[in-house]
Protein backbone atom coordinates (compact mmCIF):
# COMPACT_ATOMS: atom_id res chain seq x y z
CA UNK A 1 0.00 0.00 0.00
CA UNK A 2 2.96 2.30 0.67
CA UNK A 3 3.95 2.12 -3.01
CA UNK A 4 0.57 3.60 -4.05
CA UNK A 5 0.25 6.17 -1.27
CA UNK A 6 1.09 9.02 -3.63
CA UNK A 7 -1.55 8.09 -6.18
CA UNK A 8 -4.87 9.90 -6.39
CA UNK A 9 -5.92 13.21 -4.83
CA UNK A 10 -6.85 14.24 -1.36
CA UNK A 11 -10.43 15.35 -0.62
CA UNK A 12 -10.72 19.12 -0.24
CA UNK A 13 -13.10 18.80 2.69
CA UNK A 14 -11.13 20.01 5.75
CA UNK A 15 -12.53 17.39 8.08
CA UNK A 16 -12.03 14.50 5.62
CA UNK A 17 -8.55 14.51 4.02
CA UNK A 18 -9.18 11.14 2.39
CA UNK A 19 -7.05 10.17 -0.58
CA UNK A 20 -9.16 8.87 -3.43
CA UNK A 21 -7.80 7.15 -6.53
CA UNK A 22 -10.86 8.24 -8.52
CA UNK A 23 -11.61 11.73 -7.22
CA UNK A 24 -14.58 13.89 -8.27
CA UNK A 25 -14.62 17.56 -9.18
CA UNK A 26 -17.45 19.77 -7.93
CA UNK A 27 -19.47 21.12 -10.84
CA UNK A 28 -19.91 24.44 -8.99
CA UNK A 29 -16.57 25.38 -7.52
CA UNK A 30 -14.32 22.86 -9.35
CA UNK A 31 -12.57 21.56 -6.22
CA UNK A 32 -11.55 17.90 -5.79
CA UNK A 33 -13.56 15.75 -3.42
CA UNK A 34 -14.03 12.15 -2.55
CA UNK A 35 -17.09 10.12 -3.33
CA UNK A 36 -18.70 11.19 -0.05
CA UNK A 37 -18.25 14.98 -0.44
CA UNK A 38 -18.36 15.82 -4.15
CA UNK A 39 -22.00 16.95 -3.98
CA UNK A 40 -22.16 20.77 -3.45
CA UNK A 41 -24.48 20.47 -0.45
CA UNK A 42 -22.08 18.09 1.36
CA UNK A 43 -18.98 20.27 1.39
CA UNK A 44 -20.53 23.72 1.95
CA UNK A 45 -19.84 24.89 -1.59
CA UNK A 46 -19.69 28.71 -1.82
CA UNK A 47 -21.25 28.64 -5.29
CA UNK A 48 -24.03 26.20 -4.53
CA UNK A 49 -26.64 28.40 -6.32
CA UNK A 50 -24.49 29.60 -9.19
CA UNK A 51 -25.93 27.24 -11.81
CA UNK A 52 -29.56 27.31 -10.70
CA UNK A 53 -32.28 28.99 -12.74
CA UNK A 54 -34.25 31.08 -10.33
CA UNK A 55 -37.13 33.49 -10.87
CA UNK A 56 -38.78 36.17 -8.79
CA UNK A 57 -42.61 36.13 -8.86
CA UNK A 58 -43.99 39.62 -8.50
CA UNK A 59 -46.90 39.67 -5.99
CA UNK A 60 -48.51 42.62 -7.81
CA UNK A 61 -48.72 41.26 -11.38
CA UNK A 62 -47.61 37.60 -10.89
CA UNK A 63 -44.92 37.90 -13.54
CA UNK A 64 -41.91 35.57 -13.26
CA UNK A 65 -38.72 37.63 -13.38
CA UNK A 66 -35.52 35.65 -14.16
CA UNK A 67 -32.74 36.18 -11.64
CA UNK A 68 -29.02 36.20 -12.34
CA UNK A 69 -26.54 33.96 -10.52
CA UNK A 70 -26.49 34.74 -6.81
CA UNK A 71 -28.81 37.74 -7.34
CA UNK A 72 -30.98 38.71 -4.41
CA UNK A 73 -34.77 38.93 -4.67
CA UNK A 74 -34.70 42.58 -3.64
CA UNK A 75 -32.56 43.55 -6.62
CA UNK A 76 -34.78 41.50 -8.97
CA UNK A 77 -37.90 43.22 -7.58
CA UNK A 78 -36.31 46.64 -8.01
CA UNK A 79 -35.33 45.79 -11.58
CA UNK A 80 -38.89 44.61 -12.38
CA UNK A 81 -40.75 47.52 -10.76
CA UNK A 82 -40.74 49.89 -13.83
CA UNK A 83 -42.34 47.22 -16.06
CA UNK A 84 -44.87 45.91 -13.53
CA UNK A 85 -48.44 45.53 -14.92
CA UNK A 86 -50.99 45.12 -12.09
CA UNK A 87 -53.92 44.97 -14.55
CA UNK A 88 -52.77 41.52 -15.70
CA UNK A 89 -52.98 40.02 -12.23
CA UNK A 90 -56.36 38.28 -12.72
CA UNK A 91 -55.44 36.94 -16.15
CA UNK A 92 -52.18 35.45 -14.92
CA UNK A 93 -53.86 34.10 -11.81
CA UNK A 94 -56.37 32.21 -13.96
CA UNK A 95 -53.53 30.90 -16.12
CA UNK A 96 -51.64 29.66 -13.08
CA UNK A 97 -54.76 28.16 -11.56
CA UNK A 98 -55.79 26.51 -14.81
CA UNK A 99 -59.19 26.37 -16.45
CA UNK A 100 -61.83 23.66 -16.26
CA UNK A 101 -64.30 22.26 -18.75
CA UNK A 102 -67.13 24.79 -19.39
CA UNK A 103 -69.77 22.04 -19.40
CA UNK A 104 -72.09 22.18 -16.42
CA UNK A 105 -71.27 19.71 -13.61
CA UNK A 106 -67.91 18.88 -15.24
CA UNK A 107 -64.78 19.80 -13.27
CA UNK A 108 -62.21 18.24 -15.56
CA UNK A 109 -59.08 20.41 -15.58
CA UNK A 110 -58.00 21.40 -19.06
CA UNK A 111 -54.36 20.71 -19.85
CA UNK A 112 -52.36 20.31 -23.04
CA UNK A 113 -53.29 16.62 -23.10
CA UNK A 114 -56.93 16.74 -21.96
CA UNK A 115 -58.04 19.79 -23.99
CA UNK A 116 -60.09 19.55 -27.19
CA UNK A 117 -60.84 22.67 -29.27
CA UNK A 118 -64.19 22.58 -31.08
CA UNK A 119 -63.92 24.46 -34.38
CA UNK A 120 -67.70 24.81 -34.72
CA UNK A 121 -68.27 26.80 -31.51
CA UNK A 122 -64.63 27.89 -30.91
CA UNK A 123 -64.35 26.76 -27.29
CA UNK A 124 -62.01 24.48 -25.34
CA UNK A 125 -63.60 21.44 -23.71
CA UNK A 126 -62.44 18.16 -22.21
CA UNK A 127 -62.10 14.96 -24.19
CA UNK A 128 -65.18 13.45 -22.56
CA UNK A 129 -67.41 16.17 -24.03
CA UNK A 130 -65.65 16.59 -27.38
CA UNK A 131 -68.69 15.48 -29.42
CA UNK A 132 -71.03 18.24 -30.57
CA UNK A 133 -74.03 16.55 -28.99
CA UNK A 134 -72.28 16.39 -25.59
CA UNK A 135 -71.32 20.04 -25.13
CA UNK A 136 -74.38 21.81 -26.69
CA UNK A 137 -72.46 23.03 -29.69
CA UNK A 138 -73.86 26.12 -31.40
CA UNK A 139 -74.17 24.22 -34.66
CA UNK A 140 -76.30 21.56 -32.96
CA UNK A 141 -78.41 24.22 -31.26
CA UNK A 142 -78.98 25.97 -34.60
CA UNK A 143 -79.97 22.70 -36.27
CA UNK A 144 -82.34 21.94 -33.38
CA UNK A 145 -83.97 25.37 -33.69
CA UNK A 146 -84.40 24.95 -37.44
CA UNK A 147 -85.98 21.53 -36.91
CA UNK A 148 -88.42 22.94 -34.35
CA UNK A 149 -89.28 25.81 -36.70
CA UNK A 150 -89.98 23.39 -39.56
CA UNK A 151 -92.14 21.22 -37.32
CA UNK A 152 -94.09 24.27 -36.12
CA UNK A 153 -94.63 25.47 -39.69
CA UNK A 154 -95.80 22.01 -40.78
CA UNK A 155 -98.31 21.83 -37.94
CA UNK A 156 -99.64 25.28 -38.82
CA UNK A 157 -99.95 24.37 -42.51
CA UNK A 158 -101.69 21.11 -41.65
CA UNK A 159 -104.22 22.83 -39.39
CA UNK A 160 -105.00 25.46 -42.06
CA UNK A 161 -105.46 22.84 -44.77
CA UNK A 162 -107.79 20.78 -42.55
CA UNK A 163 -109.95 23.85 -41.89
CA UNK A 164 -110.24 24.54 -45.64
CA UNK A 165 -111.29 20.97 -46.39
CA UNK A 166 -113.98 21.05 -43.72
CA UNK A 167 -115.32 24.30 -45.14
CA UNK A 168 -115.47 22.76 -48.63
CA UNK A 169 -117.25 19.61 -47.42
CA UNK A 170 -120.05 21.42 -45.56
CA UNK A 171 -121.70 23.06 -48.68
CA UNK A 172 -121.77 19.68 -50.40
CA UNK A 173 -123.63 18.15 -47.52
CA UNK A 174 -126.13 20.98 -47.50
CA UNK A 175 -126.67 20.63 -51.25
CA UNK A 176 -127.16 16.90 -50.84
CA UNK A 177 -129.69 17.42 -48.09
CA UNK A 178 -131.58 20.02 -50.16
CA UNK A 179 -131.63 17.68 -53.15
CA UNK A 180 -132.99 14.89 -51.02
CA UNK A 181 -135.62 17.28 -49.62
CA UNK A 182 -136.70 18.36 -53.10
CA UNK A 183 -137.03 14.75 -54.18
CA UNK A 184 -139.10 14.03 -51.12
CA UNK A 185 -141.40 16.94 -51.90
CA UNK A 186 -141.71 15.99 -55.57
CA UNK A 187 -142.55 12.35 -54.93
CA UNK A 188 -146.10 12.92 -53.54
CA UNK A 189 -146.98 15.11 -56.54
CA UNK A 190 -146.16 12.26 -58.90
CA UNK A 191 -148.23 9.89 -56.83
CA UNK A 192 -151.21 12.27 -56.92
CA UNK A 193 -150.89 12.72 -60.69
CA UNK A 194 -151.04 9.01 -61.41
CA UNK A 195 -154.68 8.56 -60.21
CA UNK A 196 -155.79 11.53 -62.27
CA UNK A 197 -154.24 10.00 -65.35
CA UNK A 198 -155.92 6.71 -64.53
CA UNK A 199 -159.25 8.37 -63.99
CA UNK A 200 -158.97 10.32 -67.23
CA UNK A 201 -158.23 7.15 -69.19
CA UNK A 202 -161.20 5.42 -67.60
CA UNK A 203 -163.48 8.26 -68.55
CA UNK A 204 -162.27 8.05 -72.15
CA UNK A 205 -163.00 4.35 -72.22
CA UNK A 206 -166.44 4.87 -70.75
CA UNK A 207 -167.17 7.60 -73.32
CA UNK A 208 -166.02 5.26 -76.08
CA UNK A 209 -168.33 2.53 -74.86
CA UNK A 210 -171.25 4.93 -74.71
CA UNK A 211 -170.56 6.06 -78.27
CA UNK A 212 -170.41 2.47 -79.51
CA UNK A 213 -173.67 1.67 -77.73
CA UNK A 214 -175.39 4.65 -79.33
CA UNK A 215 -174.21 3.67 -82.81
CA UNK A 216 -175.53 0.16 -82.26
CA UNK A 217 -178.88 1.49 -81.14
CA UNK A 218 -179.13 3.73 -84.16
CA UNK A 219 -178.41 0.93 -86.57
CA UNK A 220 -180.96 -1.24 -84.89
Q: What is the pLDDT of residues 68-114, one digit of tens each?
A: 777 788 888 999 999 998 888 888 887 777 778 888 888 888 877 88
Q: What is the rounded distance in angstroms from the CA atom of residue 60 to the CA atom of residue 170?
A: 84
Query: Do 54 and 28 touch, CB atoms closer than 8 A?
Result: no
Instruction: Give percent helix, percent strand, percent coil of the chain, each to the nearest 5.
Output: 50, 10, 35
Q: What is the pLDDT of residue 43?
A: 81
Q: What is the rounded distance in angstroms from the CA atom of residue 121 to the CA atom of residue 129?
A: 13
Domain boundaries, the chain: 7-51, 53-97
Q: What is the pLDDT of residue 217?
A: 64
- Torsion over CA: 17, 21, 24, 25 (sign): positive
pTM of the model: 0.32
Q: What is the rounded distance in angstroms from the CA atom of residue 217 to the CA atom of residue 220?
A: 5
CATH of region 7-51: 4.10.1110.10
Amino acid sequence: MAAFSDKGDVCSEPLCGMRDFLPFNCNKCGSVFCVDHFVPERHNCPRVRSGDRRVYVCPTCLEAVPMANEEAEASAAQRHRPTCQPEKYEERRRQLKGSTCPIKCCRERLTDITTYHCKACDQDICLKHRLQEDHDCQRVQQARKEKQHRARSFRLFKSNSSEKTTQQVKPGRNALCSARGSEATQAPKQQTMEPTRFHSCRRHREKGRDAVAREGADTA
